[in-house]
Amino acid sequence: MYVERSIDIAAPPEVVWAVLADVERWHEWTASIESVQRLDAGPFGLGSRALVRQPRLRPATFEVTEFNPGRNFVWTTRSGGLDAVADHRVEAVPGGTRATISLRFTGALLLVFGWWVRRLTERYFTMESEGLKRRSEQP
């Protein structure tokens, strides 16, 4: 299953990237995140790991598997019969930035819970993209 959401933001890409890459503060701008706790020291980047807590979901440990500063990062998790690969992208567009969040799920649990996972993911993506826009456009 694949879910994607894009939003245009009236802020430069470097501002949007700074908000997006500061994963430990996501809970400040989206209700879809209770907390993100880094599990390692140093700057956020390739190999970084974080424990992500979200409403209605089990805590999941994500690891960054692709990192292109200022452009995108991909992190993955395997939890309870469900694998997820999440991509977070930032690209310059006229008037600001387009941010795109995508999530690819695989695993046996999709056969039973796929409809629920899709609905929840779409709702959370709306919260996240609108929250990212609000935070990035703040003066």
For range 74-100, the mean pLDDT: 95
Chain center to CA of 87: 7
Is residue 109 over pLDDT 90?
A: no
Q: What is the number of other CB atoms lying within 10 angstroms of the CB of residue 32?
A: 20
Q: 2-137: what fold? A: Alpha-D-Glucose-1,6-Bisphosphate; Chain A, domain 4 (3.30.530)
Angle at CA 67, nearest 5°, toward 61 and 69?
130
Is residue 97 over pLDDT 90?
A: yes
Alpha carbon distances (Å) from 85 to 1, 51, 62, 106: 11, 15, 9, 9
Q: Considering just the CA atoms, what is the radius of gyration of the chain in Å?
A: 14
pLDDT bin (cut points 50, 70, 90) of residue 92 is very high
pLDDT computed for residue 38 by the predictor:
98
Q: Model confidence over 1-47: pLDDT tens digits?
A: 999 999 999 999 999 999 999 999 999 999 999 999 999 999 999 99
pLDDT computed for residue 116 by the predictor:
87
Q: Model confidence over 44-80: pLDDT tens digits?
A: 999 999 999 999 989 999 999 999 999 999 999 997 7
pLDDT computed for residue 115 by the predictor:
87
pLDDT bin (cut points 50, 70, 90) of residue 137 is very high
Q: What is the pTM of this model?
A: 0.93
Residues 63, 44: Cα–Cα separation, whole Å: 11
What are the structure tokens assigned to 104, written together? 């690819």
Domain map (residue ranges) of the chain: 2-137
pLDDT computed for residue 110 by the predictor:
83
What are the structure tokens assigned to 137, written together? 């456009």
